């Protein structure tokens, strides 16, 4: 592809310092400004031809339309649901992400939440800090022999499967794109969601957030689950409907939830976070030194490649492609 001139980039979140270093070494001027309001970003963006974000910056149509010179939006991470890709595409702005940089970290946090749910580790730790020694209250259950349903069998779903298999869990799953013959080689038996819901002791979701996955786990699907099913959402807030989850927790249809992500971050739904059977994190799936270093480096190198006219690895070229994350990334050399 033809080289694209990028002179000034705004990094609007805490991205690993290697990103700035690589960009600067390649002659790009970099400004870092965090915690900007939407109005601040709208006022600021017109001065830049590149923007690097994580998940907190909402790159809405307003922001994109205010950006006279913007040529690229780089997402140092996986999900691009915080970027209006349609609006960017209309303006010819390239959106690219670094989809594999945080896979292992997100999978590890998912497994941590699954295990914490089974043994009440966060609740027990809080009880200890309060001076208690309560061995009866925190009776747990083994993971061994239990059934884990994995909804979304992409990069992270696959890594979660292999890790939880090592604890003796049986892994089943559903994905409309990854073929069952492929997941069978990872030890994951695929079936329809209707078949999956009633079988699972634990369910974890690993799809992107899009219209077809919003509220995937809702009142109707919870009603089809085993009583006491435990659920984890380390993907995106809203894939498990938060109001339905609270209702299921209150009726004990759901026995516990591990949540890393929320519809609004920080979450306004305090009843959910404060529920005794909910353990939660402030969107920490990708927050490891290793994942941040990879994502920071990958996004910088991808931008430099683009400036050099080398390739378009990781470009989200149209919103249509987003419908299926399998086809989200074009590689044009």
Ligand X SMILES: NC(=O)C1=CN([C@@H]2O[C@H](COP(=O)(O)OP(=O)(O)OC[C@H]3O[C@@H](n4cnc5c(N)ncnc54)[C@H](O)[C@@H]3O)[C@@H](O)[C@H]2O)C=CC1
Q: Using CA atoms, how far apart are residues 205 and 196, in angstroms rounded to an integer?
A: 13
Nearer to ligand X, 110 or 118 (CB): 110
Quote the DSSP letter at residue 333: -
Nearer to ligand HPV, 78 or 118 (CB): 78
> Which of 1, 22, 3 minimizes the C-alpha distance to 295?
22
- Does position 286 interact with ligand X (CB under 6 A)? The reply is yes
Q: Which of 236, 275, 294, 328 is catalytic?
A: 236
Site string for ligand HPV, 258-297 (x = CB under 6 A): -------------------------x-xxx----------
Q: Are 34 and 14 in contact (CB under 8 A)?
A: yes
Q: Render 4-59 in DSSP notation, one character per residue.
A: ----EEEE-S---HHHHHHHHHTT-EEEE--S--HHHHHHHHTT-SEEEE-SSS-B
177 binds, among ligand X, ligand HPV, none (CB under 5 to 8 A by kind): ligand X
Q: Which of 142, 250, 265, 332 is catalytic?
A: 265
Q: Are 291 and 101 in contact (CB under 8 A)?
A: yes
57 binds, among ligand X, ligand HPV, none (CB under 5 to 8 A by kind): none
236 catalytic residue (yes or no) = yes
Nearer to ligand X, 151 or 169 (CB): 151
| Matching residue, tokens 């017109």 | 46
181 catalytic residue (yes or no) = no
- Residue ranges in 120-179 that form contacts with ligand X under rule CB under 6 A: 151-157, 174-178
Q: Using CA atoms, how far apart are residues 83 and 59, in angstroms rounded to an integer?
A: 5
Q: Please tell me the count of residues contacting ligand X according to CB under 6 A.
A: 34
- Three-state helix/strand/coil letters over 153-171: CCHHHHHHHHHHHCCCCEE
- Residue ranges in 166-225 that form contacts with ligand HPV under rule CB under 6 A: none
Q: Strand 72-75 and strand 170-174: pairing?
A: unpaired
Q: Using CA atoms, how far apart are residues 106 and 206, in angstroms rounded to an integer?
A: 10
Nearer to ligand X, 208 or 255 (CB): 208
8 catalytic residue (yes or no) = no
Chain centroid to CA 172: how far? 21
Pull the structure tokens for residue 89. 């595409």
Nearer to ligand HPV, 102 or 178 (CB): 102
54 binds, among ligand X, ligand HPV, none (CB under 5 to 8 A by kind): ligand HPV
Kindly tell me the sign of the dihedral angle through the C-alpha atoms of 175, 180, 186, 190: positive
Site string for ligand X, 181-200 (x = CB under 6 A): --------------------
| CB 172 to ligand X: min, Å | 13
| CB 208 to ligand HPV: min, Å | 8
287 Rama sector, left if φ>0, alpha if ψ -120 to 50, beta otherwise: beta
Pull the structure tokens for residue 41. 């970003």
174 binds, among ligand X, ligand HPV, none (CB under 5 to 8 A by kind): ligand X
- Residue ranges in 47-86 that form contacts with ligand HPV under rule CB under 6 A: 54-56, 77-79
Q: Binding residue for ligand X (CB under 6 A) from 149, 208, 258, 296?
A: 208
| Matching residue, tokens 């259950």 | 141
Q: Are 217 and 231 in contact (CB under 8 A)?
A: yes
Q: Given the rule CB under 6 A, which residues bind ligand HPV? A: 54-56, 77-79, 102, 283, 285-287
Task: Write out the catalytic residue numbers.
Answer: 236, 265, 283
Q: Given the rule CB under 6 A, which residues bind ligand X? A: 78-79, 99, 102-103, 106, 151-157, 174-178, 206-209, 212-213, 234-236, 260-261, 283, 285-286, 325-326
């Amino acid at each position: 592809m033809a080289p694209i001139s990028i002179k000034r980039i705004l990094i609007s979140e805490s991205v690993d310092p290697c990103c700035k270093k690589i960009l600067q070494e390649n002659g790009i001027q970099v400004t870092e400004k965090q915690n900007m309001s939407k109005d601040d970003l709208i006022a600021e963006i017109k001065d830049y031809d590149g923007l690097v974000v994580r998940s907190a910056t909402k790159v809405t149509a307003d922001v994109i339309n205010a950006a006279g010179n913007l040529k690229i939006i780089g997402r140092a991470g996986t999900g691009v649901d915080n970027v209006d890709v349609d609006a960017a595409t209309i303006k010819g702005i390239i959106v690219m992400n670094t989809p594999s940089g945080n896979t292992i970290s997100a999978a590890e946090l998912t497994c941590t939440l699954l295990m914490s749910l089974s043994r009440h580790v966060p609740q027990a730790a809080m009880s200890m800090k309060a001076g208690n020694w309560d061995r009866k209250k925190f009776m747990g259950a083994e993971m061994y022999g239990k059934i884990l349903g994995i909804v979304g069998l992409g990069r992270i779903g696959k890594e979660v499967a292999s890790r939880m298999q090592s604890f003796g869990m049986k892994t089943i799953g559903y994905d409309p794109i990854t073929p069952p013959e492929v997941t069978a080689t990872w030890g994951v038996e695929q079936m329809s969601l209707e078949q999956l819901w009633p079988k699972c002791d634990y369910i974890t979701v690993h799809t992107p957030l899009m219209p077809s996955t919003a509220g995937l786990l809702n009142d109707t699907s919870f009603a089809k689950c085993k009583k006491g099913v435990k659920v984890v959402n380390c993907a995106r807030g809203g894939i498990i409907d938060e109001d339905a989850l609270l209702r299921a927790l209150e009726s004990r249809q759901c026995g516990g939830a591990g949540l890393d992500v929320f519809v609004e971050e920080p979450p306004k739904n305090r009843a959910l976070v404060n529920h005794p059977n909910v353990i939660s994190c402030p969107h920490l799936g990708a927050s490891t030194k290793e994942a941040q270093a990879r994502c920071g480096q990958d996004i910088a190198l991808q931008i430099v490649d683009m400036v050099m006219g080398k390739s378009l690895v990781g470009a989200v070229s149209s919103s249509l492609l987003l419908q299926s994350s399998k086809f989200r990334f074009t590689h044009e050399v």
